Amino acid sequence: GDSVTQTEGLVTLTKGLPVMLNCTYQTTYSPFLFWYVQHLNEAPKLLLKSSTDNKRTEHQGFYATLHKSSSSFHLQKSSVQLSDSALYFCALSPITGNTGKLIFGLGTTLQVQP
Amino acid sequence: AQTIHQWPVAEIKAVGSPLSLGCTIKGKSSPNLYWYWQATGGTLQQLFYSITVGQVESVVQLNLSASRPKDDQFILSTEKLLLSHSGFYLCAWSLRGSGNTLYFGEGSRLIVV
């Protein structure tokens, strides 16, 4: 079946360092991949999305590239800030028509320290 | 611009009592609508989705029901709350052809005691 795997539950970093949050997926369909960010006591917000193989997509300093050959969509940033501390979800939408199916990973908490 | 509003913002309810949560989307015609549930610090579990008025698909069975009485309104309800219903309920919308790109409302926090 369709699934999303985020291997890190918690990532702790010092401000200014680079970060990569891992996301791999499994589906037999052509996928749409997403990253959502959720700050404490807030709703998730869309950060990035892509369905194009090997094309880098960027927003607010974060970037990710969908690699269909390795079924990956890792989230990266070159220099994290204190305000980046949040819960990050990778999500998969297998494109099979208007089914409303969106599968979220378990999430990775990013803690940025001064 | 589109707006999504959820109500109530928060509720404390007793086990066995009824519940009704609502959401309204303005500025978009015929959106797909969704209900998600999230335990504290947990992942987002899809509960229901609807692609049109009067049509709702259930994704998981949690003794909850959903209805879409109008194009811009989605209601989540139950007649008897369980302790396990506690959590953060999120309404979301997407447009057809967007790859199910979801935009969430601000959420309703429920504590069942």
ω into A44 cis (within 30 of 0) = no
Q: Look up the CATH number of domain A3-113.
A: 2.60.40.10
Question: In terms of residues, how long is chain A?
Answer: 114
Select from A6, A104, A109, A111 the residue whose CB has the most chain B CBs within 10 Å, as the one to mutate to test that interface: A104
Least confident range from A23-37, B11-25, B56-70, B93-107: namely B93-107
Q: Do A42 and B106 touch (CB under 8 A)?
A: yes
Beta carbons within 10 angstroms of residue A68's beta carbon = 15
- Residue-wise pLDDT for B41-51, tens only, equals 899 999 999 99
Contact residues, chain A, for B49 at CB < 8 Å: 100
Inform me whether the pLDDT recorded for A98 exceeds 60.
no
Select from B25, B34, B44 the residue whose CB has the most chain A CBs within 10 Å, as the one to mutate to test that interface: B44
Domains and CATH numbers, chain B: 3-112 (2.60.40.10)
Residue A96: the pLDDT is 63
Residue A29: the pLDDT is 85
Residue B74: the pLDDT is 97
Domain residue limits, chain A: 3-113
Three-state DSSP state, B57: strand
